[in-house]
Amino acid sequence: MADYKSHLRVLNKESLILKEKQIEILDLLRKGKKEIIGILPTGYGKSLIYEIAPLMLIGTVIVISPLTSIQVEQFQRLTETPLKTCILNVKGRIITGLDIEDEMVDMESSTPIEEIYHTNLIFAHPEAIFNTVEGRKLLDCDRGKSFRTAFKHIQDMAAFLPDAARLGLSATVSLQEEKDIVKALGMKTPCIVKESPDRTNIYLEKNLKGSSNDVFEMFENIYKPLCDNLFVKKENFPVTLVYIPIQYMGSAMSYCRFIFRNSNLHNCLYGALCSGQDEKVKATILTDLGKKVPRIRLFLYICHWYGFQFPIY
């Protein structure tokens, strides 16, 4: 087993202790394995794996992910390290920096595309790789497809970059979804590294709504004690997901806002229904829940599975 302390030092994370599955995946990459699938729970530290990868391998690591908000967050964090990073977005813009107001700064037009070959990490959407001139130059190919169908062409990267290792990282998925991921990436005999999502600090609590002539009152008897408990315990309140019909969600949110009216509203997160920002809200929630001490403590979720699907932990 290799020692990755020097790599962690470069990333300003020398005090961090790598987890068993992180080390296992990094060892597979170091040994030259070409096809690897890592299925690790949310918050396990998947991003750290591809941050260390360019420090121990020769070449550039291309990170393909679907959410811009996560790409920008990771890009900002890596600016504090010696790693040279950039973002190739769906418009073909090569983003090399962020100004004080977090506005993206383009690479100077006089800078040749070949400059990004010297980059340690390139963050990109699949569309940015297959649907833009800059992305096709990276692969030396000419293919363009409509929005999100570019995902099915990720497996084609093996043909253009035959000597490159391919690593697929996912949160916990079902066995069928695992097979779908392997197929989508065009892998034949991948090494699959898994970590069980079971955690002793996560439990399911089921409350009966009771009987009442007033349906709203039945649901109030469930969410009001939770909200009151949150108000008292605050950061000591366990992270709680409440699945509730949408017609009663507004009442629960209004009650929360009422009891916290004298508090700092920056400590609260309000999701606007039908705002068209589901992916951004989800990314914000997942990023916060992955922290050791998350700020978000009470999450009201529609129980009829509308909108995005919450991941399995």
Here the tokens at position 23 are 């080390």
- Of residues 12 and 69, more confidence is placed in 12
Spell 29-66 as b/e; 16+ CB within 10 A means b: bbeeebbbbbbbbebbebbbbbbbbbbebeebbbbbee
Q: Supply φ then ψ for residue 20, to 5 degrees.
A: -55, -50
Predicted local confidence at residue 218, as pLDDT: 82
- Of residues 108 and 173, more confidence is placed in 173
Residue type, 232: V
Q: DSSP for 160-197?
A: HSTTS-EEEEESS--HHHHHHHHHHTT-SS-EEEE---
Q: Taking the model in full, what pTM does it have? A: 0.59
Give the mean pLDDT of 202-227.
Answer: 78
Q: DSSP for 230-260?
A: HHHHGGGSPPEEEEE-HHHHHHHHHHHHHHT
Where in the chain are the domains?
A: 5-194, 215-302
Q: Are 229 and 255 in contact (CB under 8 A)?
A: no
Chain segment 134-193, per-residue pLDDT in tens: 555 554 444 444 434 545 566 667 767 778 888 988 887 888 888 888 888 888 899 999
Here the tokens at position 275 are 């705002």
Q: What residues does 88 pair with on adjacent strands?
A: 94, 124
Q: Are 43 and 51 in contact (CB under 8 A)?
A: no
Q: Are 43 and 36 in contact (CB under 8 A)?
A: no
Predicted local confidence at residue 53, as pLDDT: 92
Predicted local confidence at residue 109, as pLDDT: 46
Predicted local confidence at residue 162, as pLDDT: 78
Cβ partners under 8 Å of residue 252, min gap 6:
219, 223, 227, 242, 244, 300
Range 44-50 contact pairs with CB under 8 angstroms and sequence separation of 24 or more? 44/19, 44/195, 45/19, 46/169, 47/74, 48/11, 48/13, 48/16, 48/18, 48/22, 49/22, 49/25, 49/167, 49/169, 50/121, 50/167, 50/169
Which of the listed CATH numbers 1.10.8.60, 3.40.50.300, 3.10.28.10, 3.30.70.260 matches domain 5-194? 3.40.50.300
- Angle at which helices 278-289 and 68-78 pack, to 10 degrees? 40
Return mean pLDDT, the chain: 74
Predicted local confidence at residue 275, as pLDDT: 47
Here the tokens at position 31 are 């040994």
Here the tokens at position 231 are 């108000």
Specify the pairing of strand 85-88 against strand 298-302.
unpaired
Q: In what order do the strands lie in the sheet with 104-106?
A: 61-64, 121-124, 85-88, 94-98, 104-106
